[in-house]
């Protein structure tokens, strides 16, 4: 059986590397001197004594799977001696602050077709009119950006915020 020269060179390099690693392993063992008496008799370290937990002491555990009540008022408040879970955030019973509407009336005019109001929401503008045929115009009853146009009046427009049902009267504020 004959080997090619590259394969033969690879075998020689592998044998040399193996011998070198074996020599290194042997030299690290000799660096740490071990007495001859301890070489043959290696004893494992004694395990620390583990005491089992005392199960005679009853610790109160919360009932994680309470059966729900189906009657009105079946939910019970916490007893006086129990406090709410400190890991939960505190309950805020205050009503949320009213934020200003995200829609506004920016212009209004009247011509032969009726009153027209320009509504702006989120940087986009649309014309609201009752009987116009302008492309993209809003007629009463149509929704746009979370609001429904209810009515167009001489002083502005009435819209309903769809997420909360809050009715708004939008008028044009004169800017200086």
Give the pLDDT band (50/70/90) at residue 57.
Answer: low
Please return the burial class of 92, using the count of CB atoms within 10 Å of its CB with bins 0-12, 13-18 and 19+.
Answer: exposed
The whole-model pTM stands at 0.43
- Got the DSSP string for 53-73? P--SS------TTPPPP-STT
* pLDDT number for residue 24: 84
pLDDT tens per residue, range 134-174: 888 899 999 998 999 999 988 889 999 998 899 999 988 76
Residue 142's closest CA among 124, 127, 123, 122?
127
* pLDDT number for residue 151: 92
């Amino acid at each position: 059986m004959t080997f090619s020269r590259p394969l033969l060179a690879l075998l020689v390099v592998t044998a040399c590397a193996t011998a070198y690693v074996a020599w290194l392993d042997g030299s690290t063992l000799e660096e740490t001197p071990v007495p001859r008496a301890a070489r043959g008799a290696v004893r494992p370290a004694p395990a620390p004594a583990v005491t089992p937990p005392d199960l005679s002491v009853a610790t109160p555990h919360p009932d994680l799977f309470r059966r729900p009540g189906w009657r009105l008022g079946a939910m019970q408040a916490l007893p006086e001696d129990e406090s709410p879970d400190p890991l939960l955030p505190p309950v805020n019973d205050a009503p949320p602050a009213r934020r200003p509407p995200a829609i506004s009336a920016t212009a209004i005019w009247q011509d032969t077709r009726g009153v027209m109001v320009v509504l702006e929401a989120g940087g986009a503008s649309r014309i609201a009119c009752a009987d116009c045929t302008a492309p993209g115009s809003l007629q009463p009853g149509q929704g746009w950006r979370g609001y429904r146009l209810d009515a167009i009046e001489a002083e502005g427009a009435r819209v309903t915020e769809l997420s909360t049902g809050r009715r708004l009267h939008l008028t044009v504020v004169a800017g200086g």
